[in-house]
Structure 1
Amino acid sequence: MKRIVIFASGSGTNAENLIKYFQSKDMVSVDLVLTNNPHAKVLDRCKRLKVSAFSFNKIALTETGDVLNLLKASKPDLIVLAGFLWKFPEAILNEFPNKVINVHPALLPKYGGKGMYGMHVHEAVVANKETETGITIHYVNEHYDEGAIIFQAKCDVRPSDSADDVAAKIHQLEMEHFPIVVEKLLSNNDLK
């Protein structure tokens, strides 16, 4: 059985999608969801879906090693960042080399880096009059949004599209592709 741990910061729609997708699979399970936001809606989703979830603070993530120790005990085959907004610590990346992935709401390397998440990305895409955007699933390294690209999916941006319109298109791409890419990574042992 392959084990996934998810990190999320907000509503948790990607986390819920992954959990539901893998609940019907025999070879993969989402064992744990961790969040840096004690009020995140992802906690309610996990409770409803009967998946263990915990919140933590920056000290537990970067100073005391509490989150790292929890991950070591969980022994995940893959750590999935699904809307997790903090920079991921090098100590965890070193302990789980090439086992941490992220979904980003743009076609990297465009619109990546610190502060480029969620609506900030979609607003920039619209402001710059891009004709296409999409999602990027990539490995996480010590720099924001610079890890090796695993997968990208594109969608058109129409001149009349608002940032909300773009957000809806990106959400659809995430719902469609993210679980499948995660499953392929685990089933093919394609982890770098």
Structure 2
Amino acid sequence: MPLKRIVVMVSGGGSNMQAVMDGISAGEIPGQIVRVISSAAKAYALERARANGIEAIALPKRYFDSDAACDQARHRAIDEAKPDLILLAGYLGIVPRQTVEKYRGRIINIHPALIPSFCGKGMYGHHVHEAVLAYGAKVSGATVHFVEEGVDTGPIILQDTVPVLQGDDADALAARVLQVEHRIFPLAAKLFLEDKLRVQGRRVWIEE
């Protein structure tokens, strides 16, 4: 049986994508990354992909006359790869509505906080960790969820926590949360590709 096809969408360093690639190399994730699409031309994730023989393309907004044209190009790039699963690994763009509709239930995102806290528009990267610290939260973590039309609103697949330590700054907290991301993001991909996730309303059940 052919391996299931994965498209990864990125915007930055791609360490979460690397965690998935490592899981594939170790035989733990029954899939193959067939294309990487970046919203940034100089994202290091593109180099990671090409070093592993994976097709990698950059489609930043500045290449296009309008947001709509960019959305269409990214949608076509996904379609051409015929994915079974789309992973948003540090992807800072908004997935076009047409993409969400066509691939509903097959798009998974990682968010560096415990949804429904510290999420939504403008909550990405260090903005999230700065908000956690400013609020005085004692616990943070990461969330893997399915993607819907809303920002960070889809059903939650996995979450895990880290303590917010006295004296933390955004960098220290981000590093601790990233360790959790690297664990639960590949696990979510594995569970999906093994057909062990069942969505009922807002709840995601994991089958043994």
User: 8 Å contact 1:35–1:54 — kept in the other structure?
Assistant: yes
Alignment of 1:1-192 (within 5 A): 1-25=3-27, 27-58=30-61, 59=64, 62-63=68-69, 65-190=72-197, 192=199
Taking every aligned residue pair, what percent have the same amino acid on both sides?
A: 34
What letter is aligned with 2:26?
S
What's the C-alpha RMSD, in Å, of the aligned pairs? 1.7
User: Aligned partners of 2:6, 2:25: CA distance in 1, in Å?
Assistant: 12
Larger deviation, residues 99-108 vs 153-162: 153-162
Distance in 2, matches of 1:120 and 1:54, equals 27
Deviates more, 1:111-120 or 1:20-29: 20-29
TM superposition shift of 1:27: 2.9
Contact kept, 8 Å, 1:5 with 1:79, in 2: the verdict is yes
Unaligned regions of 5+ residues in structure 1, if any? none
Gaps of at least 5 residues in structure 2 are: 200-208
1:110: Cα distance to partner? 0.5
Say if 2:104 and 2:147, in contact at 8 Å, map to a contact too.
Answer: no
Cα distance between partner residues in 1 of 2:30 and 2:155: 26
**Cα distance, 1:191–1:85 mapped onto 2, change above 3 Å:** farther
Report the CA distance between 1:61 and its aligned residue.
7.1
Offset at residue 189 of structure 1 (A): 4.7
Quick one: distance in 1 between partners of 2:176 and 2:151?
23
Mapped to 2, the partners of 1:6 and 1:51 lie a distance apart of 10
Find the aligned partners of 2:69 and 2:105 in 1 and give their Cα distance.
22
**Within 2, Cα distance between the matches of 1:35 and 1:62?**
17
CA–CA separation in structure 1 for the residues paired with 2:117 and 2:93:
19
Instruction: Check whether the contact 1:61–1:68 (CA below 8 A) recurs between aligned residues.
Output: no
Query: Are the aligned partners of 1:61 and 1:67 in contact in 2 as well (CA < 8 Å)?
Result: no
- Normalising by structure 1, report the TM-score: 0.93
